[in-house]
Structure 1
Amino acid sequence: MNTKNLMPRLFAKTGFSLYSGLNSSIYLLFAVRVINRFGDFVQLLLVLILTGKLGMDSHEAGFFISLTLVATMVGQLTAGVVADKLARKQVLVFCQMMVSLCYLVCAFLIGSQHTSLVPLVILVGSPFRGATAPVTNAMVADFSDDKDRSRAFSLLYLGTNIGVAVGPVAAAFLYGYSITGLFGGSSLLLLFSTLLLLAKLPLVKVDVYSNASEKIPGGFLLSLLRNKVLMLFLLFFALYQLTYQQNTFALPLQFSHLFSDDLGAKRFGLLMTVNALTVLVTTPFITKKTASWGQLKNMSLAMVFYVVGYGAYAFCLHLPVFLVATFIWTLGEILMATNANVFLNAYAPPRYRTRFNALSHIAGGLGSALAPTLGGLLLLTRSFSFLWVLMALICLVLAVMYLALDRHLQR
């Protein structure tokens, strides 16, 4: 695979010329992201695997998913420290290999007398899966300069959704016919993408990207505490993820409630495919159209789209309305994904780049970890409508706060 010459020509010919001219390593990370997200069957349908195949109720599943998210945050924090000191490629390869191994073990445990160990193995793999995100983000920032960084992150986000556009359909099929195949498929695809990294991604030491002699008074922690803007950004991002995580917890449960277990899984897969196709078709246009608006203004607009989409979820009962609502909030997802990482890396010192990216994922992970538990507890006594109205109100508050922060920075 000659990513240096093939990818730019491919993007230009398919109308995605916005992404031409990037570093060849960005295109490789893009290809790896497509493969990984296509094969992320386990995470996509985790709540249904736990409740439909492993016998957990919604509260137990919510608590377990919260545990996996806490484990994910531990992995992100550890990776942030390690990858700021070692070659990031080595850290990423090791973590992907560990996740692949865990899923392979799960494939052999399913249907055996040790099936009850599957959740434990998933939990063991969670820190390694979580570690891949901040390392990859730091590498995207490393392989791009200031003027290309927005396009680079937009491309990686596009890669995520190219994989997700097809992945949910395959995941739903495997969920209905072979859970062993679901775990085994995820394992093999992760292994393939890891081998691609080993063969094609250059091994670059951290000191190439930052001045090893640079001294930041007080170190990383003091650098964070002095940056009030970034601390507010992390708080807002945690609240955003609290709402966003309901798309993978409450929404599949809502579909199972409305349409039955297997049909609900298939229709939820269709919903996520619409989400991914919307991203695939509109991300280049939205990135180009909003590039001059400012990241915080774009994030505020993103929250408005979420308010409309989640508000619709609160009251709709039929699949076509769910599809329209998903399209609307997906526009907000695009704006968040193509602006949040750029804003973060503009404020993060290069010396601590992976750690600040890890903090961003940890902040989001805190919101995500609370989301299933909060959602599960609410659904014990309240309706799905109540839950979605609450999420819409949180997004409305965030829309106002992003605008307020933007005005503060403009003074």
Structure 2
Amino acid sequence: MSLFKSYAGLSREIYYLCLARTINSAGDFVFSLITLVLTLQMGMNVVSAGIFVSLAALISGPGVLLGGYLSDLMGKKTIIVTGQLLSATMILCCSFWSGTITVGYLLIAVMFFISITRPAYNALIIQLCTEEKERKSAFSLMYLGANLGIAIGPLVAGFFIKDHVHIVFISISTVFLISTFIIINQVKIGTSKVMASTGSKNSEHLQSSQPPTPLFTLLMRNPLVALFILVSFLNYFIYMQSSFSLPLQMNDSFGEDGAAYYGSVMTINAISVIILTTLILSVTRKLTALNSIATGALFYGIGFGALSLMGYFPHFAIVAVSTVLWTVGEILVQTNINLYIASRVPDTHQGRFNGLLLFVGCLGYTLSPYLTGIFIKNMDMGSLWIIILAFSLVYALCMIILWYIEKSSTRKSEIEPLDLSQSV
């Protein structure tokens, strides 16, 4: 049986939504764009450029919270379309102010509007899929498509960004507009399989007309979901090592060739994602979201922990094997992390809960480099990877504990999403 049959049977809206996300991802590399434009084109020093990148990362936190709230209030599709149109407009404006500091501020605004769409994308997939297996396939397909776009976009932009940056800006704006056009014309909420099976009661118009329940109140009614979101900080903290500590390890092990080796690591990561995502979905299709995440956390630990051997055997073969292992962990965690929330939160609050999860992710990404820097300052790189291994094991254990609590619970309201919806 073909592995790609794992993606068969999804609604046409899901396929078009994933296509739009893939196209959009080809232009969605704002952090790298800020750094490259400000340093290569404007000659700004690394420290000053880093301030702009930090501001872009900082503003994405409020962005995902606002996006989650507005997607529940106004509709997921509406927020995606609005956020992408505003992003396209800001990117296009960059072509007119090319070579000025204004570009830096415009790109920060772009990051804000992009972050607004993130929880809306996740919540819309949940709304369009009625069963967990469908959602697992949909999130896997979305993840695969996003990585394809991310792999292609920066590669193409790299040829033009130094001497023809205005072409890059116009191209990214066009990509966003094409993605938005697909969503407007092809993602029909009212005609989806969800609507066919449940009638009009789940339409975005009716959802948005319901009286809102405070997020904090709903978190108190769903303590396991609240704990899951809180513990997910570890996922983002651990995964950030691939962008922060791993380049430092390459420099420490290979000196001046460290940057080139790190580029090879990212290539291995991208190829592994493209080759393994569908295979992993097929193999783990029957696993629950918590079991899949726990397994992914173990692969995180083994993959990153293996780098502790670099102090004794500084060979790139260790790095290559390590990269494949932590990439397997990445696939397992990132394609399942939204599924746990999906079946335990009413559809009227999916946007807000996904926004809160993404906000915790922003905290993880923001604090990880700082705290990891402290670890590195006070110990060697090998000891750091042992600490990351320990964090990964703690993350896996937390997921197993959550799974055990749910399995052993005798109260139906703690495991049936229907009862949670009715509590609202």
TM-score using structure 2 length:
0.80
| SS of match in other structure, 1:302 | helix
User: How many Å separate the matches in 2 of 1:191 and 1:84?
Assistant: 23
The alpha carbon displacement at 1:213 in A equals 10
For residues 227 and 68 of structure 2, the distance between their equivalents in structure 1, rounded to whole angstroms, comes to 20
* Aligned counterpart in structure 2 of residue 124 of structure 1, from 92, 109, 121: 109
Q: Which residue of 2 aligns with 1:84?
A: 72
CA gap of 1:47–1:163, structure 2 versus 1, over 3 A, is same
Q: Match for 1:73 among 61, 75, 80?
A: 61
CA distance in 1, matches of 2:308, 2:86: 39
- Quote the residue 2:25 is aligned against: 37
Q: Which stretch shifts more, 134-143 or 163-172?
A: 163-172
Shift of 1:25: 0.6
Match of 1:228 among 218, 223, 229: 223
Q: Give distance in 2, aligned partners of 1:206 and 1:256.
A: 57
CA 1:45–1:313: 2 relative to 1, 3 Å: farther
Q: Does the Cα contact within 8 Å between 2:31 and 2:56 map onto a contact in 1?
A: no
1:180-195 correspondence to structure 2 within 5 Å = 180-195=166-181
Distance 2:8 2:293 in 1: 25
Structure 2 residue aligned with 1:163:
149
**Matching residue within 328, 332, 346 for 1:331:** 328
CA separation of 1:49 and 1:213: change in aligned 2, threshold 3 A: closer
Tell me whether 1:350 sits opposite 2:347 in the alignment: yes
AA of the residue aligned to 2:347:
P
1:23 and 2:37 matched: no
Does the 8 Å contact 1:153/1:338 carry over to 2?
yes
| Kept after mapping to 1: 8 A contact 2:289/2:340 | yes
AA aligned opposite 2:120: V
- Matched residue, 2:398: 401
Matches within 5 A, 1:41-56: 41-44=29-32, 55-56=44-45
Distance 1:289 1:120 in 2: 45
Deviation digits for residues 69-116 of structure 1 (CA, Å, limit 9, x no counterpart):
231121111111211122322211111122223333344444x3x2x3
Distance apart, 1:398 and its partner CA: 0.8
Of all paired residues, the percent bearing the same amino acid is 31
Structure 1 segments unaligned to the other structure (5+ residues): 1-11
- Structure 2 residue identity aligned to 1:41: F
Does residue 1:198 correspond to 2:192, yes or no?
no
Looking at structure 2, the residues matched to 64 and 390 of structure 1 have their Cα atoms a distance apart, in angstroms, of 30
Decide whether the 8 Å contact of 1:96 with 1:194 is kept in 2.
yes
1:238 to 225, 233, 238: 233
Q: Tell me the CA shift for residue 200 of structure 1.
A: 2.3
CA contact (8 A) 2:74 2:208 kept: no
Residues 154-210 of structure 1 show CA distances to partners (whole Å, capped at 9, x for unaligned) of 111121122234345335545666555544443332222122223322265995169
- Specify the SS of the correspondent of 1:308: helix
1:215 and 1:198, CA in 2 relative to 1: closer, same or farther beyond 3 A? closer
1:8 corresponds in structure 2 to none
Using a 3 Å threshold, how does the CA distance of structure 1 residues 94 and 86 change in structure 2: closer, same or farther?
same
Contact 1:299–1:335 at 8 Å: present in 2 too?
yes
Mapped contact 1:166–1:273 kept (Cα < 8 A): no
Once the 2 structures are TM-superposed, how far is the Cα of residue 38 of structure 1 from its aligned partner?
2.4
Do residues 135 (structure 1) and 95 (structure 2) align? no
Aligned to 2:417: none
Matched residues in 1 for 2:248 and 2:93: separation? 27
TM-score normalised by structure 1 residue count: 0.83
Task: Say which SS state the counterpart of residue 336 (structure 2) adopts.
Answer: helix
CA distance in 2, matches of 1:386, 1:52: 35
Contact 2:67–2:118 (CA under 8 A) maintained in structure 1: no
Q: Deviations over 1:229-261 (max 9, x none)?
A: 111111121121012123233444655775659
- The 3 A distance-change label for structure 1 pair 216 and 193 is closer
Give per-residue Cα distances to partners, 1:21-63, cap 9 Å, x unaligned: 11101000111121122222333565566667654446x6666
Q: Name the structure 1 match of 2:413.
A: none
1:389 and 1:31 mapped to 2: Cα distance? 39
Q: Is the contact between residue 304 and residue 385 of structure 2 (CA under 8 Å) also seen in structure 1?
A: yes
Which amino acid is the alignment partner of residue 299 of structure 2?
F
How far apart, CA to CA, are the structure 1 residues paired with 2:16 and 2:207?
27
How far apart are the structure 2 equivalents of 1:405 and 1:71?
A: 31
Aligned partner letter, 1:347: R
- Write the distance in 1 (CA, Å) between the matches of 2:284 and 2:123: 23
Question: Matched residues in 1 for 2:387 and 2:40: separation?
Answer: 27
2:25 and 2:153 in contact (8 A); partners too: yes
Q: Please tell me whether the aligned partners of residues 66 and 373 of structure 1 are also in contact (alpha carbons under 8 angstroms).
A: no
Corresponding letter in the other structure for 1:76? V
Question: 2:357 pairs with 356, 360, 369, which one?
Answer: 360
